[in-house]
Amino acid sequence: MWTDSIGRRRFLGGLGAGAVLASTSRAQNPILPVRKPRVVVIGAGAAGLTVAKALANAGNSVVVLEAKDRLGGRIDTRMLGGAPQDMGASWVMGTSMNNPVSEYLSLKGVSLQNDSVPYHMFEEGTGYLPQQQLNQLWSRFVNFTNMLPTLRSTLGPNANVNQGIELFLDTMGYGGISRERTRYMIQTEAETGYAGSIDDLSLEYFWEDSTFNGQVAFPQGGYVQLIDNLAEGLDIRLNTPVVSIDHSSRGAAVHTPFQTIYATYVVVTVPLGVLKSGAIQFNPPLPAAKTNAISRLGMSGMEKVVLTFDNAFWSSVNDLYFKSNVDGEFSYIKDMTQFSGTPTVVAFSGGDFAAQMQTQPASQLTDRLLAVLGSLNGSQPPVPTGSHVTRWGSDPNFGGSYSYWAVGSSPADNVSLAVPEGRLHFAGEATNELYFGTVHGAMLSGLREAGRILNSNVTVPDLL
Ligand SMILES: Cc1cc2nc3c(=O)[nH]c(=O)nc-3n(C[C@H](O)[C@H](O)[C@H](O)COP(=O)(O)OP(=O)(O)OC[C@H]3O[C@@H](n4cnc5c(N)ncnc54)[C@H](O)[C@@H]3O)c2cc1C
């Protein structure tokens, strides 16, 4: 569990202007005929590239099919303001070497920059709160997590986090502005960590996922370093959406708009949001255990607004809890200047506000963030040199940012999602019952499925 403030996960993401950094040079014309590969991997994110790399290194013939025109999936490093900026995953969540991301990047010689900066809290209409008050709000959040067993036994297994917060606030007797700020703190920790709305997050399983030890850190040069290293030497077909899969105990036929590819094994790594949408047809259909898990698990929204400037004109952003007058708006703002190398601010929004952002024009969101930055020290914000608003929630290839335990779901659903159907295997962050919603969870799921197919234990050094 992270003890350094904003929860243990602290990620929040985007798509927009700027050039995609992930190399697309390995893309091949999807119309070219393909010789029968042994394994088809669907999706070129962290999970897909991990399983593909492990299987290819073990001597298998592997083809990766990716719907988009770039690699990386929910890892999306783009040039903005002349520097690499991560619009999806940005933090390595624990630098200990049992985190596969840390181990792999270390073996590949990619440095990590530890993220340890001061925190502040700014309340719209009030201004900066004293540090002591922020410390008190943090300790109330910790108290909330300590009281989870009691809250659960009172509210039952079908309660959401919002109900838990209300009961906690009542029990502690917090009223007025103290209640409002405590509620903001718990909501922000919940919705920036898990990204689901507090009305949907399961109280029963809140804060029950696993974490790795060590600092949180940023890969130098962006998360694209992980993707480019994993992708090296693999046969990857970009712009190749899979529309249906015929599967049996002997193998599978994978259909794209351009061709049908036959395989001994197929590994499906598309996001939970894509499985929910039914964009891929499975013949025969997936069993009820899997389809029920797909519908019960939640797929969250977490969106980023990223602005770059010539000068860091703002004061005291560092890591900023922003309590907006609009519920959930930019609830966490981070100054990325020292990590990206150019004056950069990233505003994160999860929960219901992230859903509302899908229909708001990018200019409206960037103007509002500019106004917020100006209000911090009463200055007139300059014109940004770059801006980007992410739209993970409305991109059909993702259908959201990452999975979470919604009311009614449980870790058993992640396990059901991971169960192979004959020669059809499933990987991806949502199939990891311990580390869902993370890059390391995705990588571990890729190692797991490579291990199942090879019938051996596959570890990070097998990716080299
Ligand atoms: C905004 C944001 C911030 C985040 N921050 C962090 C963080 O700081 N740290 C962290 O550890 N994690 C973070 N995460 C979570 C992390 O990015 C994901 O858990 C992880 O990258 C998922 O990897 P994956 O391989 O499971 O899925 P993906 O990366 O989504 O890969 C699946 C691929 O399948 C492709 N696809 C979809 N449909 C089809 C189809 N029909 N045919 C072919 N291909 C298809 C998609 O285009 C995609 O490339 C963040 C996520 C977001 C969105």
> pLDDT by residue (tens digit) across 145-171?
999 999 999 999 999 999 999 999 999
- Check pocket membership of 66 for ligand 1, CB cut-off 6 A: yes
Please state, in angstroms and as integers, the Cα–Cα distance from residue 107 to each residue in 55, 119, 375, 460, 464, following that order: 19, 32, 44, 9, 8
Residue 135 lies in a domain: no
Residue 92 lies in a domain: yes
Of all residues in the chain, what percent carry a pLDDT higher than 70? 92
Which residue intervals of 173-271 are DSSP H helices? Answer: 176-193, 224-231
- Check pocket membership of 48 for ligand 1, CB cut-off 6 A: yes
Residue 136 lies in a domain: no
Residues 287 and 419 in one domain: yes
Main-chain dihedrals φ then ψ at residue 33, nearest 5 degrees: -65, 145
- Judge whether residue 15 has pLDDT over 50: no
Q: Give the model's pLDDT for residue 37.
A: 56
Residue 236 lies in a domain: yes
Residue 194 lies in a domain: no
Of all residues in the chain, what percent carry a pLDDT higher than 90? 87
- Judge whether residue 23 has pLDDT over 90: no
Residue 15 lies in a domain: no
- Judge whether residue 36 has pLDDT over 70: no
Residues 250 and 376 in one domain: no
Please state, in angstroms and as integers, the Cα–Cα distance from residue 1 to each residue in 63, 95, 120, following that order: 37, 13, 21
Residues 269 and 416 in one domain: yes
Domain count across the chain? 2
- Check pocket membership of 226 for ligand 1, CB cut-off 6 A: no
Residues 108 and 252 in one domain: no
Residue 26 lies in a domain: no
The neighbour count for residue 380, using CB atoms within 10 Å, is 7
Residues 308 and 430 in one domain: no
pLDDT-derived band at 412, boundaries 50, 70, 90: very high
pTM over 0.85: yes
Residues 97 and 43 in one domain: no
Q: Give the model's pLDDT for residue 261.
A: 95
Domain that holds residue 112: 77-117+299-394
- Check pocket membership of 181 for ligand 1, CB cut-off 6 A: no
Q: Give the model's pLDDT for residue 35.
A: 47
Of the residues 351, 369, 394, which one is the last residue of a structural domain?
A: 394
Q: Give the model's pLDDT for residue 377.
A: 83
Nearest CA to ligand 1 atom 20: 439
Q: Give the model's pLDDT for residue 287.
A: 98
Give me the helix-helix angle, 439-454 and 46-57, nearest 10°.
Answer: 30
Q: Give the model's pLDDT for residue 219.
A: 97
Of the residues 394, 418, 445, which one is the last residue of a structural domain?
A: 394
Which helix (DSSP H) or strand (DSSP E) does residue 40 occupy?
strand 39-42
CA–centroid distance, 451 to ligand 1, in Å, is 21
pLDDT tens track for 168-225: 999 999 999 999 999 999 999 999 999 899 999 999 999 999 999 999 999 999 999 9
At 88, the amino acid letter reads G
Residues 307 and 390 in one domain: yes
Residues 316 and 390 in one domain: yes
CA–centroid distance, 130 to ligand 1, in Å, is 38
**261: CATH:** 3.50.50.60
User: From start to end of 83-147, where are the E strands?
Assistant: 83-86, 92-93, 112-114, 119-123, 127-128
- Judge whether residue 10 has pLDDT over 80: no
- Strand, coil or helix: what is 458? coil
Residues 263 and 305 in one domain: no
At 117, list the tokens. 């900066």
Residue 371 lies in a domain: yes
- CB 444, CB 228: distance < 8 Å: no
At 225, list the tokens. 């370093």
- Check pocket membership of 306 for ligand 1, CB cut-off 6 A: no
Residues 291 and 338 in one domain: no
Contacting residues for 462 by C-beta, under 8 A, at least 6 apart? 54, 57, 58, 447, 450
- Judge whether residue 16 has pLDDT over 80: no
**Rounded Cα distance, 420 and 439, in Å:** 21
Of the residues 394, 415, 434, which one is the last residue of a structural domain?
A: 394
**Rounded Cα distance, 53 and 269, in Å:** 14
Average pLDDT over residues 379-397: 96
Sheet holding 244-247, edge to edge: 260-263, 252-255, 244-247, 281-283
Q: Which of 68, 74, 390 to mutate to test the pocket of ligand 1 (most atoms within 8 A of CB)?
A: 74
Residues 294 and 433 in one domain: yes
**Rounded Cα distance, 92 and 105, in Å:** 10
pLDDT tens track for 258-303: 999 999 999 999 999 999 999 999 999 999 999 999 999 999 889 9
CA–centroid distance, 131 to ligand 1, in Å, is 36
pLDDT tens track for 119-135: 999 999 999 999 999 99
**Rounded Cα distance, 23 and 434, in Å:** 31
**111: CATH:** 3.90.660.10
Average pLDDT over residues 420-442: 97
Residues 307 and 338 in one domain: yes
**Rounded Cα distance, 411 and 293, in Å:** 10
Which one-letter DSSP state was computed for residue 5? S
